[in-house]
Structure 1
Amino acid sequence: FAEALLLFRRMELDGVKPSPVTCVTVLASFTVRRLLPQARKFHARITALGLESNVIVGTEVITMYEKCGSLRDSRLVFERMPQKNLVTWTTLISSYAHGHGREAMEIFERLLAHGGLEPDAVACVSALDACSSMASLEQGRKVHRIVVSRGFESNTVFASNEALCHSLMTMYSKLGRVESVREIFEKMASKNVISWTYIVSAHAQAGDLEMTLSLFAIMQLEGVAPDSIAFVSVLSSCSHGGLLESFPMILRCTTRFFPVRSTTAALWTLWDGAGSLTTWRSLWRSCR
């Protein structure tokens, strides 16, 4: 950040007018909240140079303020921009999606009403993230219908768009719609560890112990090594579902993928499910 700003100032002192590309490069260096005061000063300089109206620069300013923790400033810049492209709209929706779902969906609705632009798969992913954060099945289904109507759910587009599939799976999982999660999972052309983790976690969260364990086993038979999230999801399901006897079998399987420290940490996390330190120690000894 400091070096980029210093070079920018030297450029101006040498009589070189900064280009939009130069401004975007410097804007990208503002990445943490503590830099908000400096970010505002640099934004003022961009405005003085007459570059804020540039759609690429303006969009990057929105991103900068989001990274610096000021969605209010992001929104003000957005509303002042004379021209906005699809990236601009998607950037603001994404900025609001996690923790400010209603605002994100309000902007998404405005995008839908916009005469010259239509949301793409990336915009739909951000909208789905917003639906997940606000736990709205109605809004989520609406976005899903848009995904279908725009053709993003076709075999050639949807199945190969992992981000879109995963966002739909996350939303339906959080809303307890395991059948919908499974339907999307089955449509995917290829399934990686993240895809498998979502489907395993969805059944674990729903308390479907048998299917959780079955999918966890199939995942490995398919040659996909489970990550720590899938691992903890299965253990959590067993813990809360009263299947403590399944712990040793799972642990013996998963210690191939995780160091002892990670496995122990996961068990400590689930200690409440074990009921006592004696039970926890017994489970750990049984899988060594």
Structure 2
Amino acid sequence: MRSARDSIHAFDRIQSEGSSPAKSIIAAALKACGRVGDLQSGKRIHDYIVKNRRASPGFDGDDGIDADIASALVTMYAKCRSIDEAREVFDAMEDRSVVSWSAMILGYAENGEGDLALGLFQRMKQDSDDSIAPNRVTYLAALKACAATCENSREQALETARALHLEICQHGLESDLFVASTLVDLYWKCGSSVDARDLFGRMEERNVVSWSAMILGFAEAGDAKLALETFRRMPCAPNRVTYLAVIKACAALAVVDEGELVDGKVVKLKSLEIGRALHCQIRGSGFELHASIASSLVDMYCKCGSLGEAWSIFQRMKRSFRDVVSWSAMILGYAQGGEAEMALELFEKMEGDGCAPNPATFVAVLKACASQGFSGAGRRIHAKICTAGVEGQPGVATSLVDLYGKSGSMNRARQVFESMASIDLVTWNALLAGYSQQGEMKEVLEAFEALCRTSLAPDSVTYLTVLTACAHAGLVENGKEVFRAMTQRSITPGIEHYSCLVDLLGRANLLDEAVAVLRGMSGASPTPSLWMSVLGACHKWKNVDVGRAAYGSILELDPCNSAAYVLMANILQHASEWDLKNSPKLRL
């Protein structure tokens, strides 16, 4: 950063002395402006170039700004996020070199305008003569542009990536280590692990970039174990990007880790052990308190359930390094760890520290409010969300619906729901859950029917919510119909779905049907708890025959189930059949 500022100061010093800065000084100063994002100084240098181009040595005054300087201006404006001014300079150029074309293409790509970048890349190939052919830098810019289009359509991006790969092979650039590594990363972003792994396997030489691309690819594809295995096989020294990728993999592993109760908190012990070992290696490499690494470690420890270690890193971070990502990770960690008050307190500290919340922050703090029913705090945060203009963000809106549903303010939940421009299935599920929790059965069924009329397909969470509502309301026929609809949509019921249906049938004294459901289960086997639900219903309805069948099934699965013994004994006692000596089936 200091060397960049030195280049700008060198330009200013020479100019203030009344001399004309050399072309190399101007180019270096423009490059420095782009590196530090100093648009104001960049424009000042541009003004100097325009005013003095005819008097400055090395500039072609008759034909406009020198091509190399113009390319440096394009790069400077693009790096400073002023892409329109970059394009103005580019369009004013009469003679464009491969450097200027590549600079403009990369400028669009780095500013998220992937389609414009690729369009310009095609125009370069069509409009330029044979002397200006795409080179290594051009293709790297085009690959970056392709990656920027992945969010719009992965399929289209993959098609473009394969076409670019073919051209790269035709130009003999596939053997270029950095080009090949960038391609590997692009294939992962396009969702094609097959292409990524195939190219990685063919690479004669691999560097830290290619290895890091594979680790990150596996992590983001949900294969955390393979990401960690690839990291262990990596023969070269990891860099910051590698560590970010493997921390992400460890955090992903923690999400699926069942965890264990430690002092009343769920801790992902297996993932935590891996994370600690990784942290130790990172500490030894000197990357521990780098801003992005520290933020990622905070997130990982939070997901592992070790809030103490997450907080320790967060506290040791420089205040200037505590960005919205690290604050949000810490707030979410406390919210998920059941410490809602601490999450809210941290949110206030974040604002007091001058760090503006983003949508992820609001989602985290709304989760804290919803977990404890802090409706007052939730409404205050809703006001902040409206001020920030992110109320329409899908994740934020869904969290608001969830918050108001859990706090009993279904009118507010419905208002947020109906104000959304685009409603996804997660939001529908949040609305259904809110109505279900408030016992508003009519609204549950109406909302469910409305969902079924959309292009969205209900998932297992949707069906579980509606089944639970039907069970609590005693709506037997509705519940049975919902269960049938789920199986007709080829959604395999889980234990929790069977539990709802059995509970519903048991409450309605349809005990034979409940037994038939359990004996006809597909994709899973009845658990002792499911049979206990039937046995409990038999106690309520004094049904000895079905009770004996349920009791026998429980003993087959859990011969030492004392709770089942007590319940069956009570059933027999109430049925005037209590004779412990003559009841050989009753045993501990």
TM range (shorter): 0.7 to 0.9
Q: Is the 8 A contact 2:327 2:350 kept in 1?
A: yes
Q: C-alpha offsets along residues 55-99 of structure 1, whole Å, 9 cap, x if unaligned?
A: 111112212322322121111111211122212211222222212
5+ residue gaps in structure 1? 282-288
Residue in structure 2 matched with residue 110 of structure 1 by the alignment: 233
Which residue type is aligned with residue 238 of structure 2? P
Q: Is the 8 A contact 1:30 1:68 kept in 2?
A: no
1:129 deviates by: 0.5
1:239-258 matches, cutoff 5 A: 239-248=370-379, 250=381, 254=384, 257-258=387-388
| Structure 2 CA distance for partners of 1:270 and 1:21, relative to 1, 3 Å | same
Are positions 1:82 and 2:184 aligned together?
Answer: no
The worse-fitting range, judged by mean Cα deviation, of 239-248 and 126-135 is: 239-248
Q: C-alpha offsets along residues 120-148 of structure 1, whole Å, 9 cap, x if unaligned?
A: 22211110001111223333222212101
Residue in structure 1 matched with residue 316 of structure 2 by the alignment: 187
User: What SS does the corresponding residue of 1:118 show, helix, strand or coil?
Assistant: coil
Q: TM-score, normalised by structure 1?
A: 0.80
1:8-157 matches, cutoff 5 A: 8=125, 14=130, 18-31=134-147, 32=150, 33=154, 34-98=156-220, 99-111=222-234, 114=235, 117-135=236-254, 136-153=271-288
Bigger Cα Rg: 2
| Structure 2 CA distance for partners of 1:17 and 1:229, relative to 1, 3 Å | closer
2:177 and 2:277 map into 1 onto residues whose CA distance is 29
Q: C-alpha offsets along residues 190-231 of structure 1, whole Å, 9 cap, x if unaligned?
A: 223332222222111111122122222222333334333333
Residue in structure 1 matched with residue 552 of structure 2 by the alignment: none
1:213 and 1:14 map into 2 onto residues whose CA distance is 62
The worse-fitting range, judged by mean Cα deviation, of 177-186 and 220-229 is: 220-229
| Structure 2 CA distance for partners of 1:256 and 1:165, relative to 1, 3 Å | same
Are positions 1:206 and 2:206 aligned together?
Answer: no
| Structure 2 CA distance for partners of 1:139 and 1:255, relative to 1, 3 Å | closer
Are positions 1:174 and 2:325 aligned together?
Answer: no
1:96 and 1:260 map into 2 onto residues whose CA distance is 32
Q: Is the 8 A contact 1:5 1:26 kept in 2?
A: no
Q: Is the 8 A contact 1:121 1:147 kept in 2?
A: no
Residue in structure 2 matched with residue 274 of structure 1 by the alignment: 407
2:197 and 2:355 map into 1 onto residues whose CA distance is 42
| Structure 2 CA distance for partners of 1:58 and 1:262, relative to 1, 3 Å | closer
Q: Is the 8 A contact 1:55 1:83 kept in 2?
A: yes
Are positions 1:217 and 2:348 aligned together?
Answer: yes
| Structure 2 CA distance for partners of 1:205 and 1:15, relative to 1, 3 Å | same
| Structure 2 CA distance for partners of 1:238 and 1:27, relative to 1, 3 Å | closer
Are positions 1:7 and 2:124 aligned together?
Answer: yes
| Structure 2 CA distance for partners of 1:38 and 1:229, relative to 1, 3 Å | closer
| Structure 2 CA distance for partners of 1:25 and 1:247, relative to 1, 3 Å | closer
Percent of matched pairs sharing the same residue:
33
5+ residue gaps in structure 2? 1-117, 255-270, 415-588
2:240 and 2:350 map into 1 onto residues whose CA distance is 27
Q: Is the 8 A contact 1:4 1:29 kept in 2?
A: no
1:173 and 1:181 map into 2 onto residues whose CA distance is 6
| Structure 2 CA distance for partners of 1:270 and 1:14, relative to 1, 3 Å | same
Q: Is the 8 A contact 2:382 2:400 kept in 1?
A: no
Q: Is the 8 A contact 1:90 1:122 kept in 2?
A: yes
Which residue type is aligned with residue 324 of structure 2? V
Which residue type is aligned with residue 78 of structure 1? F
Moved over 4 A (4+): 15-18, 248-252, 259-264, 278-281
1:278 and 1:84 map into 2 onto residues whose CA distance is 58
Q: TM-score, normalised by structure 2?
A: 0.42
Higher RCO (C-alpha under 8 Å, 6+ residues apart): 1
Q: C-alpha offsets along residues 14-55 of structure 1, whole Å, 9 cap, x if unaligned?
A: 376653223323333323321323432332332233221111
The worse-fitting range, judged by mean Cα deviation, of 119-128 and 237-246 is: 237-246
1:10 and 1:225 map into 2 onto residues whose CA distance is 46
